[in-house]
Amino acid sequence: MNSFTYANPTRILFGPGQIAAIAKQIPESAKVLVTYGGGSIKANGVYDQVMAALGGRAVTEFGGIEPNPSYETMMKAAAVARESGSDFILAVGGGSVADGSKFLAAALVHDGPEPWDLVTGKAKIKGAMPLGVVLTLPATGSESNCAAVITHKAKGAKLAFAHPAVYPAFAVLDPETTRTLPPRQVANGVADAFVHVIEQYLTRPAGGMVQDAYAEALLRTLVAVGPKTLAEPDDMDARANLMWAANQALNGLISVGVPGDWSTHMIGHELTALYGTDHARSLTIVLPALMRVRRAAKRDKLLQYAAEVWDLKDGPADARIESAILKTEAFFRSLGMPVRLADDRIAKDAADKVAANLEAHGLTALGEDKGVTPEVARQILVAAA
Ligand code: NZQ
Ligand code: ZN
């Protein structure tokens, strides 16, 4: 295991009724910009709870942040924030609202001409406006990590950035808020969280016993509660476990001291930028094919995954690996997720287009061993056809 520093400053407020607790997290004198998406929070009562908790504070609203939040939309939010003199951002919604708001928080203290440079890395993030999150969709872990993914529509680019300045100060995780999620979004969340764990675990053995065992516990939990939440929408224990598992999957804990492989995400982001594929659906298309194409490099961890997550402990090693990949596909299918490009009606030439875009974005050496070149990514998507 490598040396590491672990510091996650986000305070978690978990459970029913916790939205009211934001009153103690935000200064009385704050001028709050409440950011949200397309309106789900107004239909399900979350907006009313947030407004009640904010009490007499000065509040400005910015709604309309779209799934896969765009640079263009968030620049409009920046104008509203500046005009209103807001000094605290409260993001209420899913990962898109959280991510867009993180970018906004950094853009508002940026002194250069082009805030997009903060996403590409051309300009350094020097700070951010304070930010809190009320989460309504368990999936991304964005509520308590320091990453965000922003789409520049005009450039056709979907890129990630990370900086400690954009850690939310607090995150409210009330499983009750997830009751109104459409089944497609529940499934997306389960699959996204599952792939987050995989990308920090399915690499090469690195002696991280705690990280490995916790990753396996999270994967087994997601396999159990994902289909359960879909089949029994009123099972609040399942919803609570899903929300906590998705949070723990990407709060930085299981990645410390061990290698990571974000190539499924990077290839998936290109699919979303090109075809508008839901984030999680891009991942379930890429991952099984990536496991097949990269099975030699990942052999030891694939065997561990087969044994610890799918209880495949007997028989020839190659057969155990193939069974684990088939189990992974069957799990995704049981959630209603696609596992081939054709399942989402994406044409085969996606392989060439994604490879070209990875090259253009400088994402040319992905994976725990930098072995996923644009050519290997192309092979993965050919295998996913
Ligand atoms: O916009 P509204 O009306 O709120 O509706 C949303 C949206 O249409 C709806 N929704 C959310 N909560 C709801 C609800 N509908 C009913 N009841 C509720 N309680 O769900 C739809 C999807 O929301 P979105 O925020 O886009 O989903 P998700 O949380 O999956 O976020 C996806 C985004 O996060 C990025 C993805 O790339 C994508 O852009 N990611 C961010 C990460 C991070 N910051 O660490 C990591 C992830 O890998 C991911 O890349
Ligand atoms: Zn993801």
Give the SS3 label for residue 214.
helix
| Angle subtended by helix axes 209-231 and 236-249, to nearest 10 | 140
**Ligand 1 atom 49: the closest Cα is on which residue?**
140
Which amino acid would we find at residue 200? Q
Which amino acid would we find at residue 294? R
Residue among 40, 65, 150, 163 to mutate when testing ligand 1 (max atoms within 8 A of CB): 40
Confidence band (pLDDT; 50, 70, 90) for 297?
A: very high
Query: What mean pLDDT do residues 127-148 have?
Result: 98
**Ligand 1 atom 42: the closest Cα is on which residue?**
140
**Ligand 1 atom 28: the closest Cα is on which residue?**
95
Q: Decide: 150 and 161 in contact? Cβ < 8 Å.
A: yes
Q: Measured in angstroms, how far is the CA atom of residue 195 from the centroid of ligand 2?
A: 7
Give residue-wise pLDDT tens across range 314-351: 999 999 999 999 999 999 999 999 999 999 999 999 99
pLDDT of residue 11: 98
Confidence band (pLDDT; 50, 70, 90) for 260?
A: very high
pLDDT of residue 93: 98
pLDDT of residue 176: 98
Q: Measured in angstroms, how far is the CA atom of residue 354 from the centroid of ligand 1?
A: 23
Q: What ligand has the least distance to the C-alpha of 47?
A: 1
pLDDT of residue 78: 98
**Ligand 1 atom 20: the closest Cα is on which residue?**
185
For residue 39, give the ligand 1 atom closest to its CA: 3
Q: Rounded to the nearest 10 degrees, how much is the dihedral formed by the CA atoms of 42, 48, 49, 53?
A: 130
Query: Is domain 11-177 given the CATH code 3.30.565.10 in the classification?
Result: no
Distance of alpha carbon 94 from alpha carbon 192, whole angstroms: 13
pLDDT of residue 29: 97
What are the φ and ψ backbone dihedral angles of 70, each rounded to 5 degrees? -100, 150
Give the C-alpha distances (Å, rounded to integers) separating 372 from 24, 126, 291, 295, 358.
46, 31, 12, 12, 10
Distance of alpha carbon 373 from alpha carbon 381, whole angstroms: 13
Give residue-wise pLDDT tens across range 182-227: 999 999 999 999 999 999 999 999 999 999 999 999 999 999 999 9
Average pLDDT over all residues of the chain: 97
Residue among 142, 247, 266 to mutate when testing ligand 1 (max atoms within 8 A of CB): 142
Going by C-alpha positions, the residue among 94, 102, 269 that lies closest to residue 199 is 269
Confidence band (pLDDT; 50, 70, 90) for 89?
A: very high
Each domain of the chain, given as residue ranges in start order, spans: 11-177, 183-383
pLDDT of residue 15: 98
Q: What ligand has the least distance to the C-alpha of 37?
A: 1
Residue among 74, 119, 137 to mutate when testing ligand 1 (max atoms within 8 A of CB): 137
Q: Which two tokens stand for residue 4?
A: 């590491």
Q: Measured in angstroms, how far is the CA atom of residue 249 from the centroid of ligand 2?
A: 10
Residue among 41, 61, 133, 149 to mutate when testing ligand 1 (max atoms within 8 A of CB): 149
Give residue-wise pLDDT tens across range 105-115: 999 999 988 99
Q: What ligand has the least distance to the C-alpha of 35?
A: 1
* CATH number for the domain formed by residue range(s) 183-383: 1.20.1090.10
Q: Rounded to the nearest 10 degrees, how much is the dihedral formed by the CA atoms of 73, 79, 84, 90?
A: 30
What are the φ and ψ backbone dihedral angles of 366, each rounded to 5 degrees? -90, 170
Q: Measured in angstroms, how far is the CA atom of residue 135 from the centroid of ligand 1?
A: 9
Distance of alpha carbon 304 from alpha carbon 83, whole angstroms: 54
For residue 188, give the ligand 1 atom closest to its CA: 30
pLDDT of residue 148: 98
